[in-house]
Chain A
Amino acid sequence: MAVAGLDLTVGAGECFGLLGPNGAGKTTTIEILEGLTPPDSGDVEILGTTWREGAAGRALRERLGIQLQETQLADKLTVSEVLALFRSFYRQSHTVEEVLALVELEEKRKARVVTLSGGQKQRLAVACALVSKPELLFLDEPTTGLDPHSRRQLWEIIRRFRAAGGTVLLTTHYMEEAERLCDRVAIMDHGKIIALGTPKELIASLGADHVVDFAPTEGGIPEDLVDVLRQMGGVTAVRTGSDGVSLTVVELHRALPALLAVLQQRGVELSLLTTHHATLDDVFVALTGRQLRDT
C-alpha cells in the first residue's frame, strides 16, 4: 500500500539513511525490514536470513536493536526498570549500567519515564534498542521533534555504536541529519526510492555546489527574466516558487555578481537574498519540485 518496487542493499558496518517527507513510506519500509509488517510481495534478507515464525525469528531478533517511531514506554517504571525489562528478553545483553553509560542516562536511572524530557525519552528508547548488543540497529526517526542539543547527543550515540562496528539503518526527514550521519542515503517519495547514493554523490548530481535564493520586493519575476537567468554562466538550474526564485550555481563568486547586475538592470528590488552550500534538501527539491518540509 505505502511502498512499491523498493530495491536496496545495506552493507555491514554501514550507516544507511532512508530520507523523505512524512508519508513517503519510510516507516513502512523499515517495519517490513524489522519483520513487524509482512510485505505483500518481495523478499527481505537480514543478516543472511529471512523472517520466519518461531525460534528462527526469535534468533534473528536477538541480533537486532529496534527503536520504533511512536513507542511510549511505561510511564510508571523507572529508567533502570525499563532497561532491566528489555534486557530480560535477550540471551546476551549489556548490563543496565553499561547501557545507561552508552546513552548517558546514568543520573536518571531512578527517574520514572513520565518525568523524562523528550530527548531523554528518546535516548531511553535507543537504549532499549542497544541493550541487546545488536549487530544491526534500526532507528525510525530517532531525532524527530527534538531540540538541537538532544539531537546532537543522539548523533553521538549513533556514532559510537558505529565506531564499535555496528550497522545502522535509520529514517529521518532531516536531510542535515542524513548528511552528517549516513554513508549512503536513499531518498524516498510516495513509496518509491527516487535517488540512492552517498550524500556527496547526490549533491554532486545537482551539477552545482551552491544555491542562491532571492525574492523581489513586489510582484513576481517575469518569464523572460527567468530565461535570462537560465542563460547566465554558472547557473545549472532555476526554479521559481511562490516565495521567490532559487538558482543552483557552480561558481558562486561569478554567478552572484552577474545575477545582481541583471536584477539591477531590470530594476528589480530584492527583499531577500541568501546563498548556501547545496544540501540534500536541494536534491529533494530538484527531484520532486517540492520542499521537503512543506509547511
Chain B
Amino acid sequence: MYQLALSRMREFYREPEAVFWVFGFPIVLAFALGLAFRNTGPGKLQVGIVAGTGDSALAVALGSSPRLVATVLDTTTARLRLRTGRVALLVVPGDPVVYRYDSTRTESGLARLEVDDVLQRTRGRKDLVAVQDDRAVAPGSRYIDFLIPGLLGMNLLGSGIWGVGFSVVQARQRKLLKRYMATPMRRSHYLLSFILSRLVFLIVEVVALVGFGWLLFGVAVRGSFTALAGITILGSFAFAGLGLLVASRAKTIEGVSGLMNLVMLPMWILSGTFFSYARFPNAMIPFVKALPLTALNDALRAVMIDGAAVTTLGTPLAIVMAWGAVSFVIALKIFRWR
C-alpha cells in the first residue's frame, strides 16, 4: 500500500500541469480576489450638485465633509453620471432641497445620510444625544479573511475529486486496474492508497494557501492549528471518498469529467466559497448546509476566523464525515474493477 501511495504521488508531481491547478491556481485566485476586494477604508462618496441658484453654497457646505466629494454639474451630465453610477446622489438646490438617487444602491443610501447630516448641521441643527465613535477594524472581517477558508475548502474538494477521479478512470481505461486485479493486491489497499497519498498532498496544499494568505494579506488562523489540521484531513478524506464514488463506474475520462462537474459545480456556487450562502432564499439554506463543502467551509471559517474549538463544530464535521463514509462504502460496493 505504501508503494501504491508512493506511485500515486510520483505520478502526480511529475505532471506539472496538475501541480499548477492544485497548488498554483488557488493562490493566484486568492491573490487576484484579495487585491480586488482589499479594504481601503470607506471610500469617499461622489455627490453631484445640479447647477442652479445656491449651488455654490451647497458645494462649500458639502465640501467640508471629509467623506464627500461634491461636484457641480449641469443637468444633463448630472443625470448621466447618476445613471452610470459615477455619482451616488444628486442634490438639486432649491426649497425644498431635492435628493435624487437610486434607493436600492447601498452607496446612495449612505450618501443621502451623509449629505443630509451635513446640510442640517450647517443650518444649525444640534445633536440631542452625545455620541462617541469607537472605530475598530475587527480582524477576520475583511473579504480576504472570508475568502481564504473558502478557497481552502474548494481546493480540498477539487483536488480530492480530480486527483482521485482522473487517475482511477485512467487506470481503468489503460487496463491497469485489471492488471492489479491479477496480483494478490487487496482491493481495499488500492482505494486506501488514494486516501493516503491525498493526505500527503493535503499538507502541502494547506500550508501553501494558509501561508500565502498570512504572508500577503495577514490572514491569521485564530483557532488552533491542530483543529485546522483535523478539519482539513477530514475534509480531504470525505472528498477522496466522493472522488472514488464519482470514478467508481465511469469508463472514460470524458464520462468522469461530466460527473465531476455535476458534483462540483453546484457546490462551488452554493457552498459559500466566494460569497456567503446566506444570500440564497431561506428555503434553500437547509439543503445548502447539508452539502459537504458548505459544512467544511463553515467549520474552516469557524476555526480560522472565529477561533472556535472543534467541540463546537459537531454538526458540520458530522456532515462531512457522513458524506465521506457513505460515498466510500458505496464506491467500494459498486466499483468497476475492469
Which A residues have a C-beta under 8 Å from some C-beta of B? 34-36, 58-59, 61-62, 64, 66, 68-74, 76-77, 81, 84-91, 112, 128, 132
Does residue B184 face the partner (Cβ distance < 8 Å to A)? yes
Q: Please give the distance in Å from B19's CB to the nearest CB on chain A.
A: 12
Does residue B174 face the partner (Cβ distance < 8 Å to A)? yes
Interface centre among A68, A74, A84 (most CB of B within 10 A): A74
Query: Cα distance A69–B179 when bound, in Å?
Result: 10
CB <8 Å contact, A66 and B182: yes
CB <8 Å contact, A88 and B2: yes
Determine the chain B residues whose CB is within 8 A of the CB of A84 once the complex forms: 3
Query: 12 A–B contact pairs at CB < 8 A?
Result: A58-B186, A62-B184, A66-B183, A68-B178, A68-B179, A69-B175, A72-B174, A74-B7, A81-B7, A86-B183, A87-B3, A132-B183
CB <8 Å contact, A71 and B184: no
CB-CB nearest 8 A-B residue pairs? A88-B3, A72-B174, A58-B184, A66-B182, A89-B183, A76-B14, A61-B184, A71-B179
Q: Please give the distance in Å from A92's CB to the nearest CB on chain B.
A: 11
Cβ-closest chain B residue relative to A66: B182
CB <8 Å contact, A88 and B10: no
Which of A58, A62, A81, A90 is the one whose CB lies under 8 Å from B10?
A81
Determine the chain A residues whose CB is within 8 A of the CB of B178 once the complex forms: 36, 68, 71
Query: Cα distance A62–B183 when bound, in Å?
Result: 7
Which of A36, A72, A89 is the one whose CB lies under 8 Å from B338?
A36
Known interface pairs A72-B174, A73-B176, A88-B2; A36-B7 also in contact (CB < 8 Å): no
CB <8 Å contact, B4 and A85: yes
> In chain B, residues 176-193, which have Cβ atoms closer than 8 Å to a Cβ of chain A?
176, 178-186
Determine the chain B residues whose CB is within 8 A of the CB of A61 once the complex forms: 182-184
Q: Please give the distance in Å from B194's CB to the nearest CB on chain A.
A: 14
CB <8 Å contact, B186 and A74: no
Query: Cα distance A151–B6 when bound, in Å?
Result: 33
Cβ-closest chain A residue relative to B4: A85
Cβ-closest chain A residue relative to B180: A89
**At the interface, is chain B mostly helix, strand, loop or mixed?**
helix
Number of interface residues of B (CB under 8 A): 23
CB <8 Å contact, B175 and A72: yes
Cβ-closest chain B residue relative to A125: B179
Does residue B15 face the partner (Cβ distance < 8 Å to A)? yes
Determine the chain A residues whose CB is within 8 A of the CB of B15 once the complex forms: 76
Does residue B254 face the partner (Cβ distance < 8 Å to A)? no
Known interface pairs A70-B175, A71-B175, A74-B176; A36-B181 also in contact (CB < 8 Å): yes
Q: Please give the distance in Å from A97's CB to the nearest CB on chain B.
A: 16
Determine the chain B residues whose CB is within 8 A of the CB of A69 once the complex forms: 175
Query: Cα distance A64–B179 when bound, in Å?
Result: 12
Residues 178-219 of B, flagged 1 when their CB comes within 8 A of A and 0 if not, give 111111111000000000000000000000000000000000
> In chain B, residues 84-124, which have Cβ atoms closer than 8 Å to a Cβ of chain A?
none
CB <8 Å contact, A76 and B174: no
Query: Cα distance A69–B183 when bound, in Å?
Result: 15
Determine the chain A residues whose CB is within 8 A of the CB of B2 once the complex forms: 88
CB <8 Å contact, B4 and A76: no
Cβ-closest chain A residue relative to B10: A77
Q: Please give the distance in Å from A234's CB to the nearest CB on chain B.
A: 50
Query: Cα distance A66–B184 when bound, in Å?
Result: 11
Query: Cα distance A90–B183 when bound, in Å?
Result: 8
Determine the chain B residues whose CB is within 8 A of the CB of A88 once the complex forms: 2-4
Besides A61-B183, A62-B184, A91-B184, 15 other CB < 8 A contacts? A36-B178, A36-B182, A70-B174, A71-B176, A71-B178, A72-B176, A74-B171, A74-B176, A76-B10, A77-B7, A77-B10, A85-B6, A86-B183, A89-B185, A128-B179
Does residue B11 face the partner (Cβ distance < 8 Å to A)? yes
Residues 9-38 of B, flagged 1 when their CB comes within 8 A of A and 0 if not, give 011001100000000000000000000000
Q: Please give the distance in Å from B251's CB to the nearest CB on chain A.
A: 14
Q: Please give the distance in Å from A27's CB to the nearest CB on chain B.
A: 11
Q: Please give the distance in Å from B10's CB to the nearest CB on chain A.
A: 6
Which of A62, A71, A112 is the one whose CB lies under 8 Å from B174?
A71
Query: Cα distance A242–B140 when bound, in Å?
Result: 85
